[in-house]
A and B are shown apart, each in its own frame.
Chain A
Amino acid sequence: MQRVPCLIWMSAAVVLTAMTGCHQERTIAAAAGDAGSGTVRGELTITGSSTMAPLVAEIARRFMARHPAVRIDVQSGGSGKGIQDVRSGIADIGMSSRALQAVESDLEVFPVAVDGVALIVHRSNPVSELTPEQVVAIFTGKIRNWSAIGGPDQPISVVHKAEGRATLEVFLTHFQLRNPDVRPDVIVGDNEHAVRTVAGAPGAIGYVSIGTATADVQSGVPIRLLPLDGIPADCEAVAAGRFPMSRPLILVVRHDRRPLTDVFLRFCRSEQVDDIITAQYFVPAAR
């Protein structure tokens, strides 16, 4: 009887060792194939921005379906970690949802998509555009009625995002607001929630990902996207990088990268992934 636990641990150890062994053989086989014929094979590790991770994981899934001999691991952890991992060679590709700083010029940048954020109001709201000062005043509770900025006599209801949302950070950064200063009437989670809230309240104002909002406008949801600094909030302006409240979603790599990395980067920047980018509520980057 007393030997049973001992046996369990021993067999577990044997199984673990066997599993490890299998894997190593496969890695070696993959590496050998890499140098050989023209078929794409090998392994890629991608780390970085948690905003981008779901998008790149889906792109990787499609890539692996087309190239069964390729294995891609997408890991999350934040833009900074992605850049650091590429530098140290832990990752082949890093994901970053902010532009690189000047000191990071040792890396090459491949834009994949753009995340644009626009202010939305109810379709019946006659206000055509807001100045940045007006937006700040509305979201900090200094302007509480649309009549103060040339609209109808209707109280403004501020729809704000919950802590931790990527669009929240883009919005706060763009208008140089601090989150505790914002005086929200409603706090919502995802983009769809914000769109539904604004669509149901004629006096509401909120901000959402432009990809989501334009899709909803096309399907007849009664909201309107406000232009910012005179630039219309549409996917073309975002894709071209002209829309001010946006951030790039980029892949970063080292100069001394492997051929497989380039094959995957080309795939990420091709039309073949447009539907995936749109499905994740981003806008494909201009090519």
Chain B
Amino acid sequence: MSEGGAFSRPGARFDRILGAVVWLAAGGIAAVLIWITGDTLQRGLSEVDIAFLTTEPTDAGRRGGIVSVVVSTLMILAVTLTAAVPLALGTAVFLADVSARWSAAAAVVRWSLDVLAAVPSIVFGLFGNALFCVVLGLGYSILSGGLTLACMVLPVMIRTAEQALRSVPAELRMNAAALGLRRTARLWHIEFPAAVPGMAAGLVLGIGRALAETAALIFTAGYATRMPTSVMDSGRALSVHVYELAMNVPMGDRRAAATATILMILVLCITSAASSLLHRRRIFRRSEA
């Protein structure tokens, strides 16, 4: 086990090489992150000021700000979470808890989720466009976009929530059953609080995926940069704005970098807020119990 003892063994060199490789891999990941963040911030931060955050885009995004785009993004995210979180929790409880007697049904649900998770986002976009925009008549709207994203983030949310529920120690469940707690009470008071950190991870992954999405939103939430007044309005998400400025607007590169900066900051704020909120609740509950 000790370093000195390992020196004499024939595998010592191999150990050290392996150690170096592991360090290199970890360092490489950190370097890529720093490079991407640094490059975006360096090109974007100089364009960011109060006016950029408080005005609507003009001249195809080359001038003005992004306030309406930020508002649209937050509204899309709100719709996504409103639709996805209850569905994800319900399905996760079914898979982790209820489905013991319905293993065939659970297998079908799991298989569907795995397939859904593998579907490229552009396919979700075309599906969302066909279902929400055309068949259900919602048109290009924040509602269509949010619901499409909900379909997209469901697999990751459900799978992580299921894993979190499964990893709750069996003794907790048994104790609750021994005390005569009803099933719903057991879920609310024992299993959900214990599973919250795992579920928070799923929520954060889902939020991250939703905020990063471009392809699925171009065909559903759309492209309008006007300030949305309801979820039935079309609204451009930040990621779509970045894509648009970088690809279709001549000389939009600087504003694309600035928008990407805001998007990164937003993702960071929302995900850290979400996870810290959920973690605090868990601690509170523990002390309560």
Interface of A toward B, CB cutoff 8 Å: 1-2, 9, 12-13, 16, 19-20, 22-24, 45, 50-51, 53-55, 57-58, 61, 73-77, 88, 90, 164, 166, 189-192, 209, 212, 279-281
Contact = CB atoms under 8 A, between A and B. Distances in A.
Q: Which of B139, B189, B230 has the most CB of A within 10 A?
A: B230
B223 interface: yes
Contacts of A90: 133-134
B269 to A, nearest CB: 19
From A20, A164, A192, name the one whose CB has the most chain B CB atoms within 10 angstroms.
Answer: A20
A120 to B, nearest CB: 15
A77 B219 contact: yes
The majority secondary structure among interface residues of chain A is helix
A227 B142 CA distance: 48
A2 B190 CA distance: 12
Contacts of B188: 2
Contact of B224 (A19, A24, A74, A212): A74
A83 B234 CA distance: 20
Nearest to A190: B250
B250 A9 contact: no
B249 interface: yes
B18 to A, nearest CB: 39
Chain B CB count within 10 A is highest, among A22, A58, A75, for A75
Interface residues of B, number: 37
A72 B140 CA distance: 12
Given A16-B82, A19-B230, A190 B223 contact: no
Interface string B71-113: 0000000110010011000000000000000000000000000
B243 to A, nearest CB: 9
21 contacts: A9-B86, A12-B78, A13-B82, A22-B229, A22-B230, A23-B230, A50-B247, A53-B223, A53-B244, A54-B61, A54-B244, A54-B249, A57-B60, A57-B223, A58-B59, A75-B218, A189-B253, A190-B251, A190-B253, A280-B250, A281-B250
B231 interface: yes
B139 A23 contact: no
B248 interface: yes
B128 to A, nearest CB: 13
Interface in B166-213: 188-189
A73 B248 contact: no
Contacts of A45: 139-140
A74 B61 CA distance: 14
